Structure 1
Amino acid sequence: MVCVKVLVVGFGWAGFEVALTCRSLSRDLEIIVVSEEPCPAYCRCGLTYAISGEVEFNNLFLRSQDFYKSAGINVLLGYRVVEASSGVARVRPTSSVGSESSMQYDRLVLATGAKPVDPPFEYSGIEGVFKLRDLRDAQAIRRWALRSKSAAIYGSGFLGLQVADALHKLGLKVKLVEPLSSVMPTILDQDVASRIKSIIEGFGVEVYTDAHVREAEGDKQVKRLVGDGFEVDCDMVVLATKVKPRVELAEKLGVKLGVTGGIVVDEHMETSVEGVYAAGDCVEVKELVTESPVLAQITSAAIREARVAASNIAGKVDSYPGTTLTALSKVFGVEIGIAGLNSSLSSKLGLDVVPVTVEGPVKGGYYPGKALVKLLADRGTGRVVGVQCLGEGAHLRASLVSQAIAKGFTVKDLAKLELGYHPLLMPVWDPLIEASKKLLEEVKP
């Protein structure tokens, strides 16, 4: 049997999952992973917990170096693929040590991930300003934080809030700076975001919204962020800006890019260039409500995309249907869970949605604890469009709605779901079911 050479570029969750799935499906594949980082794959989602000291950095690695050797996966660390075409890739060390070389491949997988977008203000030459994308960034942030008293976080998405939580746990005075009108502005509707803002302010975090920063000031080390009519004093700044797909290598290959800037793939995760696949934060996929192209950039999607790519490479035909945009977090003691579209994105995609917000008990009525659910449905069809959940069990409610979206449920379908009951675990009528019942009165299922 001819040995097929698979070259995987990138070693985040997508690259890791491609390599392991290829190996689990076939012992006949020669698998090579090239990573710019000096260390093997790790759980990027856990970096903020290592910054806070809740876990050790060494515990974030997904497998040991010995594991890859025993599995027959050749991992080349500290190298960058600078060019690839016609089955030949050129790799170059990221440091001055080592020389450029070439390697052949039969199948190429682009798992190049994403990179932070630069903020709209100048900070070059000033120490104490950090981006957070990889392990080295996180280690540098922790070292600096341990000798600091205050920190400004620029950006209030999932990453920004998790960094804020981590630094707060280290005892720093935390200041959250968001250029848009609410926290988590592209994730949550404003009414739900205002709840999160109140919660984190209750922990002593200063929140600045509509805060347009002009520059980071300081002699050698950062001292403050300065904007129109405000100053935020700080000993360090963490930039938690949005990220964009890393597509430089894809462009050199002539791979088609989509309207989002991500790599266009078919249902098999193959790009416009035959034999070249892509998965993870660098790809454009469809969301399952309107089938519009999006950048999912969430771990759960990356892993599933990677498995599909690997399966097809190994000769096991599989397909990726699209993403429900489900994302979870827990910050300042509060669970956040989302799935599908929010009101703003629904409107941009041409949907007429009806929202309903319900706050109710998460256990038997005589036990403490409440959760908030904001459920959205299409006005004309009653189809479930999205959900935003806060409080205990938010991760379960969002995951349930994720499946409802994938299956094309209406609110009537959702309202009829029979969930479990126990006074210590779940109420007779969960807030999600209550929201579904309330929406039934306003839509046409």
Structure 2
Amino acid sequence: MRFTPIVGVVVGLALTVSACGGDDGGDDGGGGTAKQSTEAQLSGRGPITFVSGKDTSGNRQKQVDAWNKDHPNEQARIIELPESADQQREQMIQNAQTKSDAYTILNMDVVWTAEFAANRWLTDLPKSQFDVSAMLPPTVATAQYRDRLYAVPLNADGGLLYYRKDLLDAAGVKEAPKTWDEVWAACDKVTKTSEGKGVSCYAGQFDKYEGLTVNVSEVINGAGGSVVDASGKPTVNTPEAKKGLDVLVQAVKDGRIPKQAITFKEEEGRRYFESGKLLFHRQWPYQYALANKKGTSKVVDKFAVAPLPGVSGPGASTLGGHNLAISAFAKNKATAADFIKFITSEESQRADLLATSQAPPNAALYDDPELVKKFPYLPTLKASILGAKPRPIVVKYGDVTTAIQEETYNAITGKTPSDQALSSLQTKLGQLIQP
């Protein structure tokens, strides 16, 4: 949901959230009363729930089964929420607002931390118990709010350009495109070949949901623009932002993005790519293993991955991923803390990568020769994550992302001119993001 240096990501986080929400106590990293208070919150042992979006791999249940085998008195049970990130967030908020103990561990989009922590819906975690030093710095930054740890990274995520290498080879295109002009030129060549007949050019996540915020942010960043600057000030009403948004607007208009793609979330696009109907697909790493699964995919061994394109060179991914947090209203928090340590350990991350191709937070895994041999895209993915740009990190994130989705969807579908949509979005964001 994704090229700013690491320092830029961390500084942007600190500057933006400094103006958000109240201080709800916790581990100050220096011991004393605050540390004791935070650790004291992690009490109680017994059954827990693991609340997460739909697991398309089935591997998450295997990990829970492994935990349950060794913890007969502290069983974990998965509560599966809808595929849509927006619906997942809505159900988690409803649970928090009613102060229900039904949800124990929350598998959260990385951008929700500030909102949930500021509203006191999460239990802050003692840094002395959760060592995140081996994880990629941008992923750790997403798990913090006001320099306190409220979650632990479960998966990192960076956007990748999946492409049909066999079709590019047949059309004489020797390298993956680095710019949007090169993407469109490659499409034109492929569609003129017999192998490329009937194949659509490009798709991403363009339905009116969180994925659209991610995709729009990427094309804007890839054109030299931004949605918000490092201080959190909205900056969408600029020529650079318009140039980026117009990449999608024009591609829908001329058919290079097929009409049905404006209804695509991750899974719809994945199935379309795996059916052999799509040349280029902007997608997360999890697609790699599924697209190479014999019996269900028609593109096994026919595709490769590359960095996302930009206007004048490689683009910038939006920082995605998921963090695990403990609900402030949950019971058995000591068990929950141990479960989080178990499922985010390096051993578990390795197993998850091998089973699902999802991006691990642990930095060393990206340089492991055995893993790189099996997943050649890992160096590209690591660069994508380290250079990724975050979505606006604000307490009113739900309202912010809704505004982005509404205005840019109107532009992409031709309902509103792009300059008018961005001007309206600038006004809305200015009202929602207070200095």
Question: What's the TM-score bracket when you normalise by the shorter of the two chains?
Answer: under 0.3
After TM superposition, the score normalised by the length of structure 1 is: 0.27
Select the structure of larger CA radius of gyration: 1
Structure number with greater CO (CA < 8 Å, separation at least 6) is: 2
Q: Which has the higher helix share?
A: 2
